[in-house]
Chains A and B, each alone.
Chain A
Amino acid sequence: EVKLVESGGGLIQPGGSLRLSCAASGFSFSSHTMSWVRQAPGKGLEWVSGISGSGGTTYYTDSVKGRFSISRDNSKNTLSLHMNSLRAEDTAVYYCAKDYYESSAFYEYFDSWGQGTLVIVSS
């Protein structure tokens, strides 16, 4: 059974830093592109960042480029998101999500999600 468990959320002041983690189990972690997707309270889904299975390629949405950094440790089956210079608009539930594998192909859609970790940026 695929399991994704996020941690590290909390209340942080504007301009502060936070590190989110996602512990993965139940699948071949290093084979899958992983992403962070966030959802502000009462709002829609926003893809934030993604990282290839090897960790060699990373992707970001424009609003977090230069502030957030995604990484992974395939030896520990762990995904991380380092968030710096946090703003009020970064307040959201952050989900760790795994790409979809079907019929020997990988797709950049998300078939497994964690329960989410809430980040609140406020003074």
Chain B
Amino acid sequence: EVVLTQSPATLSLSPGERATLSCRASESVNVHLAWYQQKPGRAPRLLIYDASNRATGIQARFSGSGSGTDFTLTISTLEPEDFAVYYCQQRSYWPLTFGGGTKVEIK
């Protein structure tokens, strides 16, 4: 199965700062990667699909890039509601797999 490794595990930033999250795949997944945001006690929310496309209703401060094995989620200016855990997920191969997550916390 494709293993997705997210880094860093925790990112400590202040509101207004830029967040850069990484997801690395154990083999090429082309652009078939998504990003999710999850807040405590809530189901995940789809942010980005196929590496760089914002899902319906997602704010422009969220952007994704990458292809092959290396992907990045960027939050241009952190808002208070953006502090959460972020996961990547690939759809190139079954079984579908998620990364271990990056927690974005308030510094």
Chain A residues with CB under 8 Å of chain B are 35, 37, 44-47, 50, 59-62, 95, 100, 102, 107-111, 113-116
> Could you tell me the distance between the alpha carbons of A61 and B85 in the complex, rounded to whole angstroms?
23
Chain B residues with CB under 8 Å of chain A are 1, 34, 36, 38, 43-44, 46, 49-50, 53, 55-56, 85, 87, 89, 91, 94-101
25 contacting pairs across A/B (C-beta < 8 A): A44-B98, A44-B99, A45-B89, A45-B98, A45-B101, A47-B95, A47-B97, A47-B98, A50-B94, A59-B94, A59-B96, A60-B95, A61-B95, A62-B1, A95-B43, A102-B49, A102-B53, A102-B56, A107-B91, A108-B91, A110-B44, A110-B46, A110-B89, A111-B56, A115-B43
Q: Are A44 and B96 in contact (CB under 8 A)?
A: no
Q: Are A111 and B46 in contact (CB under 8 A)?
A: yes
List, in ascending order, chain B residues with CB within 8 A of A62's CB. Answer: 1, 95
Instruction: Name the prevailing secondary structure of the A interface residues.
Output: strand
> Could you tell me the distance between the alpha carbons of A35 and B36 in the complex, rounded to whole angstroms?
16
> Could you tell me the distance between the alpha carbons of A116 and B43 in the complex, rounded to whole angstroms?
8
| Closest residue on chain A to residue B46 by CB atoms | A111
